[in-house]
Structure 1
Amino acid sequence: MGKWELTMEPVQEWGEEHEDGAVFGITLRREPVLQSAEPTEAFVQYRTCKVRRLKAATLDRLVSHLQDPCCQEQDYGRILLSTYHTFTSSNKLIEVLFQRDNFASSLDSTSYSDSSLWTLLQMWLDEYSDDFRDPPMHSSLRLMCLHLSGHPFLFPLAKHYEALLKKFQTEDIVADCPVDYIEEPALNKEAKDVESDNLADFMDFSITDVAEQLTRMDTDLFMMVVPFQCLGCVWSQRDKNENLSPTVWATITQFNAVTNWVITSLLHPSSSASSSTTTERAKVIEKWVWVAQGCRELKNFSSLKAILSALQSNPIYRLRKTWSAVSREAVSVFENLSKTFADENCVLTSREIFVDSSVGGTVPYLGTYLTVLNMLDTALPDTVEGGLINFEKRRREFEILRQIRQLQASCSQYVLPRHPQIAVWLQSQKRLSDQESFELSRQLETPHDTSPSSSGWSHQTLTKKLSSLLSGNEGSRKNADQISVSSSGSSSSEIEESPSLSSCVQNTSEVFPSSSSPDSSTMSSSPSSSQQDLNLNPSSSSSSSPASANPHLVSCHKRSISMTTLPFYNRQVDDSCIIRVSVEFCDNGNMYKSILLTSQDKTAQVIQRALQKHNLDDVSELDFTLVQVLAQGRELHIPEKANVFYAMSTSANYDFVLRQCPKGQRKQLIRSASLSSGRATK
């Protein structure tokens, strides 16, 4: 046996096989062979098995692959049911399932209940029944019942689907009942059990009780999240349609509420005193640090992230005197808790924390997963050559969705008591806008010194922000819904001490933001500080920037389905990279958008693509210049006809700003463009 054979990998990617309407990836798997008594086989150490994996196909081939005896992928049906919404509808999938020529023959066997089709239909009912919820008619569920009733072998399944239809219809009737007859949500019930006159002060509550109440609230919302709504192609459309991801928005609202509670308790105490003292504020910070520690012990990473976000927000971290009065023990705990998210490079770290937990429930920081799914959606095309559905992309997305489902299942292990008084206190807190928070902070401590004293804290540590982004237009969205969870990690940002909103910063990490309040307008920031590479591999780690991004697919050239290298943020790999672009005057909710930049993209193309990402289709790219934000307030202006990939500075963060041209410059650009094309300009 040659030396090369001893060092061969047990699994090797061999290539691809193309068939009519399908592309298969071929993997050679080396499997050991049991010793045989036959002399001719005594020296056989292993056999090589050929494994085919469907990578791209038409819808018909995706369905027919279910019944392919060569289909060796155990989770193929789950991958299909988890992601089919991205390329077809429930009605269409049902029609294709029941219209296949070999469908009837697959049911004639006595072992029909073991067939792949039966397994898929049962799985669809048990694990993905929300797909059929479409009030008031529930058309896809009715269509399924109609098809099932036409096949005697499927009568048992038909009865279960009909029962589901009746359940949905009953729930619709209850939903249409007058408000007086509907049972109140648990939190409202708890709140009404306590008279408003008997509101307690935050400092009177037990640290454990507060952590338990926050975890209870976060758990209820997280278990209601529909994993499909986290997919990048769905979540990235939230600016255009807020109803696409209601269960995700609910978790964001809760996250923003927690940050507001922390900030309000420090800047606007409920006590009758006109203002709090430095010592009193320091005690409040210490208590929130211990509450965050309690959330960490309960494995509630959502509220943990929200509390850290609030304590690192601009109105709070600038309180130099207050922070100097915080005990060393609390400071140490705070710094250690911040390391939980590894400088917001928490896609890998936090996921390992979540999944490796075998005891008790876990509430994750959902922004971590939204970030990875958004980046996957940006980096991988929906279709490949020939218009085939990129099923390899769906397979990668499924791995992330499966982890979300596993974490949701773990939440059933929580057994937490209710704390009505804390619920009342939380609901009674005033919602502060970003401007109000900033002004209150300035009143408490003048802006002559905005950086905390050097008690072992670096400026970067203190300015780390959450990355979930401010989103949602102010006019249509209520307070806490303003921050979106579409980016990853937090980074530091230099904050100028100025009363204007434009000088404040709202950062968030792959999760939610460090915002002062939900009903304020989006605050702009200038990206800065060290940000690490965000590997798009599902098991990779992510970094953050002043604001979170919602990456979308923007590549103009075809990409091979067998691609294994994905673009990085802050690193150029294989002639591509991820950059983050904000618009200087933009107030559409998100601070910046992530764009896939290739070595072929010119300045005008990048500007146009960024405007489209910010939903500014009616604005001309001629009105803007592209600027890269460098460290220490410096900027790099990208020339009009430059190749951005080569013109940009690779030693700085890949953060860009679209800046409006000065008056008169646009005409010059138009004239230049007109002359170059041989047309006169009036």
Structure 2
Amino acid sequence: MGDSSFITIFLSTYRSFTSTERVLDILTDRLENPPGENEKSQTRQSFNKAVCTVFRTWLTEYPEDFRSLKEPSRLLRLAPLLPQDSSSAADLRASLLRIAEELSEKALLPDAHRGQTGIHTSPPPDTSMFEATSILGFPAALIAEQLTKIETELFVHLIPYHCLGSLWSQRDKKGREGVCWSVRATVRQFNKLANAVLASCLWQTKLRSQQRARLLEKWISVAEACRARKNFSSVYAIVSALQSNPIHRLRKTWQETDREAVRKYEELSEIFSEKDNYSQSRELLKEEGTSKFANIDNRLNNRHINKSNAQGTVPYLGIFLKDLTMLDTAVKDKLDNGYINFDKRRREFEVLAQIRLLQSSCKNCVFGTDEAFMQWYHGVPTLPEEESYRLSNEIEAPSEPSPRGLPPTVIITQCPDLSSSRISLAADSENHFDFHSPVNNLLSKLTKHMRSPSVSCLDVDTSPPSNDSTPAVLTPSTPTKSHRRSASCGNNPPNNIQGSTPDMRIIRIRMDLHDGNLYRSILVTSNDKTPTVISSALEKHNQDPKQASRYELIQLLPEGKELVIPATGNVFYAMTSSSVDFLLRKKGGNTPLGSQSISTETSATFPRIKAKGRRLVRNLF
């Protein structure tokens, strides 16, 4: 209908509300009954041209959609229906039949295709040969180049739609273990690098403070060299590890660290300040989102940089995950008339387009491999939460205070060890990328009022840890300290912690479904009554929101207690501040064994409801 961007936006975001199989079925049904009186009519010619455009774009930019089909029947049905009067249609037909043949072979010989899902695992490293201080023998520029090589390869192969909030939030759902594998790979690298910093600084507990200070200085130099190469992902991983409690608390080591190195470390930390929704990080992406080198006076040893090669920009992916998760949480999936809210998909596409533009700046980057460093890097032992904190306490007693003048402790939460083509609208890789898009302006306005939770790493756990999948964290909680787990990409902490305002709040609601318990984030304002929240939660869980009267809303409290929210109550004021986890249970259902229910059926008058939160969201969205 004259919207030239519709196809691109639809192909980028349709997985949020339907499946590849469903789209193929609809389009194939359309092809079986083409418009126009005959093959030569102008209507039929226009239709055939549109068909070729859609499938050529789809097959070129998202070939994995077709290769992920479980069997070839849909492609075998589709191929003969493509137009017969053009060479482009013949090429499309040949490509579809070739993929159908691959799918048939995969079905007949599954063992030959095992391990080709995009999730690769490596054997555990041999820790007996690990020498933490060996890192001092590698130039910082060389280390930065090798880390940038790893990050660039991962970023180029990132599938942007894997970052969509509706997909990323369901990655732990039973039966969806393989989804978003390209984002998981980036998460693993982020945590692997943070772990390498921790292990190198803590592994050898007998080192003197001066020796350990040299390790801190080395990693600060590496972070600065990564900054010069515009590898923001590695910079943040290193800075996050240095800010983690096991290293941050080493007072004697920081006192021995060169003051100039500490100053540079503080400057790098400021890049990822959460102030104004990561405004400084976004501004840097706008200024340096090109294939040129960073325009900074880094005073580094750049002998390992090949100036003839392009230098792409590798962003910290958590910023985009946060934007997309906030969009998915705050904007409705459907309009009041039941239609798909395609304006939401346009906003999501703006974020995905930014990722694709940055990917285009990395596509021509070429790096060499230093086998000696890679052997050391892959041989770093994994330090669990308890072990890293134990080693830190062995180095310096826990009673000693933290050093003055250093940034406050940032808790780094490590993700579980889970296992591209250019967009047609992409500009030349030499052009600057404008990150002041409408979606960022909108999100900045919203977060200014919501103070949305921090994303201190790429962990965005959306459900409580289960027995078979317990996330490992880099910093433990201890009886003597009160640490918060990093709330990432839309998971909000309680009312007395960062992320809440007097007018709105994000809560997590789950249902007891047959395919496992899945938490979804819901925005609750001071105007929302219980039926409204239940309806929104049902819609988020792909259930019929009209069945809200059959459910009751229960707040899950510590020690197995439950707080039943009154059917006519205001959820914002009825909830307690001790938990943001809720449960939808069918009325008349059994209370879990051992749980204690706290009734709130009372005639007490709630405080006067404020309309500010609801009005804000209505104006923004």
Bin the TM-score by the shorter chain. Answer: 0.5 to 0.7
Change (3 A) 1:355 1:512: farther
Which secondary structure state, in structure 2, belongs to the residue aligned with residue 121 of structure 1? helix
Counterpart Cα distance in 1 of 2:374 and 2:322: 30
Counterpart Cα distance in 2 of 1:350 and 1:245: 24
Which secondary structure state, in structure 1, belongs to the residue aligned with residue 267 of structure 2? helix
Of 114, 120, 145, which aligns to 1:212? Answer: 145
User: 1:275-290 residue pairs with structure 2 within 5 A?
Assistant: 275-290=206-221
2:7 is the alignment partner of 1:77: yes
| Corresponding residue number in structure 2 for 1:265 | 200
| Corresponding residue number in structure 1 for 2:50 | 116
| Corresponding residue number in structure 1 for 2:410 | 464
Counterpart Cα distance in 2 of 1:248 and 1:242: 13
Any stretches of 5+ residues in structure 2 without a counterpart?
A: 293-310, 420-442, 445-452, 461-469, 479-483, 493-497, 511-516, 542-550, 584-592, 605-621
What is the TM-score with the length of structure 2 in the denominator?
0.67
Counterpart Cα distance in 1 of 2:394 and 2:318: 33
What is the TM-score with the length of structure 1 in the denominator?
0.61
Once the two structures are superposed, residues 359-402 of structure 1 have per-residue CA deviations (whole angstroms, 9 ceiling, x without a partner) of 23111111111111111000111111221111111111111111
Which secondary structure state, in structure 2, belongs to the residue aligned with residue 451 of structure 1? coil
| Corresponding residue number in structure 1 for 2:248 | 317
Once the two structures are superposed, residues 246-277 of structure 1 have per-residue CA deviations (whole angstroms, 9 ceiling, x without a partner) of 111111111111110000000004xxxx6111
| Identity score, percent | 34
Measured after TM superposition, the shift of residue 99 of structure 1 is: 3.5
User: 1:443-462 residue pairs with structure 2 within 5 A?
Assistant: 443-452=394-403, 454=404, 456-457=405-406, 461-462=407-408
The code of the aligned residue for 1:250 comes to A
Which secondary structure state, in structure 2, belongs to the residue aligned with residue 578 of structure 1? strand
Structure of larger gyration radius: 1
The code of the aligned residue for 1:365 comes to Y
| Corresponding residue number in structure 1 for 2:488 | 549
Measured after TM superposition, the shift of residue 602 of structure 1 is: 6.2
The code of the aligned residue for 1:549 comes to S
Counterpart Cα distance in 1 of 2:38 and 2:161: 30
Of 502, 505, 511, which aligns to 1:578? Answer: 505
| Corresponding residue number in structure 1 for 2:387 | 436
The code of the aligned residue for 1:511 comes to L
Measured after TM superposition, the shift of residue 119 of structure 1 is: 1.8
| Corresponding residue number in structure 1 for 2:527 | 600
Counterpart Cα distance in 2 of 1:665 and 1:264: 42
The code of the aligned residue for 2:142 comes to D
Measured after TM superposition, the shift of residue 435 of structure 1 is: 0.3
In the alignment, is the contact (CA less than 8 A) between 1:603 and 1:639 conserved in 2? no
| Corresponding residue number in structure 2 for 1:306 | 237
2:373 is the alignment partner of 1:427: no
The code of the aligned residue for 1:84 comes to Y
The code of the aligned residue for 1:74 comes to S
| Corresponding residue number in structure 2 for 1:509 | 456
Which secondary structure state, in structure 2, belongs to the residue aligned with residue 229 of structure 1? helix
Measured after TM superposition, the shift of residue 200 of structure 1 is: 8.1
Counterpart Cα distance in 2 of 1:462 and 1:204: 31
The code of the aligned residue for 1:210 comes to I
In the alignment, is the contact (CA less than 8 A) between 1:233 and 1:552 conserved in 2? no
| Corresponding residue number in structure 2 for 1:91 | 21
Once the two structures are superposed, residues 57-92 of structure 1 have per-residue CA deviations (whole angstroms, 9 ceiling, x without a partner) of xxxxxxxxxxx2xx2x33211001111222222233
User: 1:238-387 residue pairs with structure 2 within 5 A?
Assistant: 238-240=171-173, 241-269=176-204, 275-343=206-274, 345=276, 347-356=278-287, 357-358=289-290, 359=292, 360-387=311-338
User: 1:166-185 residue pairs with structure 2 within 5 A?
Assistant: 176-177=111-112
Once the two structures are superposed, residues 321-360 of structure 1 have per-residue CA deviations (whole angstroms, 9 ceiling, x without a partner) of 1111111111111111111123365554434433542223
Change (3 A) 1:221 1:167: farther
Counterpart Cα distance in 2 of 1:325 and 1:596: 47
Change (3 A) 1:330 1:644: farther
In the alignment, is the contact (CA less than 8 A) between 2:193 and 2:238 conserved in 1? yes
Any stretches of 5+ residues in structure 1 without a counterpart?
A: 1-67, 479-487, 490-505, 527-544, 554-567, 584-589, 627-637, 677-682
In the alignment, is the contact (CA less than 8 A) between 1:211 and 1:291 conserved in 2? yes
Change (3 A) 1:169 1:621: same
| Corresponding residue number in structure 1 for 2:71 | 137
User: 1:470-481 residue pairs with structure 2 within 5 A?
Assistant: 470-472=414-416
Which secondary structure state, in structure 2, belongs to the residue aligned with residue 353 of structure 1? helix
Measured after TM superposition, the shift of residue 621 of structure 1 is: 3.3
Measured after TM superposition, the shift of residue 599 of structure 1 is: 1.9
RMSD value, Cα: 5.1
Measured after TM superposition, the shift of residue 465 of structure 1 is: 4.3
| Corresponding residue number in structure 2 for 1:520 | 472
Counterpart Cα distance in 2 of 1:306 and 1:338: 11
In the alignment, is the contact (CA less than 8 A) between 1:508 and 1:548 conserved in 2? yes
| Corresponding residue number in structure 1 for 2:598 | 669
Change (3 A) 1:289 1:168: farther
Measured after TM superposition, the shift of residue 223 of structure 1 is: 1.8
In the alignment, is the contact (CA less than 8 A) between 1:603 and 1:644 conserved in 2? yes
Which secondary structure state, in structure 2, belongs to the residue aligned with residue 237 of structure 1? coil
Of 117, 125, 133, which aligns to 2:59? Answer: 125
Measured after TM superposition, the shift of residue 114 of structure 1 is: 8.9
Larger relative CO (CA 8 A, sep 6+): 1 or 2?
A: 2
Measured after TM superposition, the shift of residue 521 of structure 1 is: 6.1
In the alignment, is the contact (CA less than 8 A) between 1:580 and 1:655 conserved in 2? no
Counterpart Cα distance in 2 of 1:434 and 1:368: 25
Measured after TM superposition, the shift of residue 302 of structure 1 is: 1.0
Change (3 A) 1:619 1:329: farther
The code of the aligned residue for 2:486 comes to A
The code of the aligned residue for 1:600 comes to N
The code of the aligned residue for 1:79 comes to I
Counterpart Cα distance in 2 of 1:511 and 1:655: 25
User: 1:641-652 residue pairs with structure 2 within 5 A?
Assistant: 643=570, 645=572
| Corresponding residue number in structure 2 for 1:401 | 352
Once the two structures are superposed, residues 418-470 of structure 1 have per-residue CA deviations (whole angstroms, 9 ceiling, x without a partner) of 11111110111111110000011001001122311x2x43xxx231345xx55
Deviates more, 1:213-222 or 1:603-612: 603-612
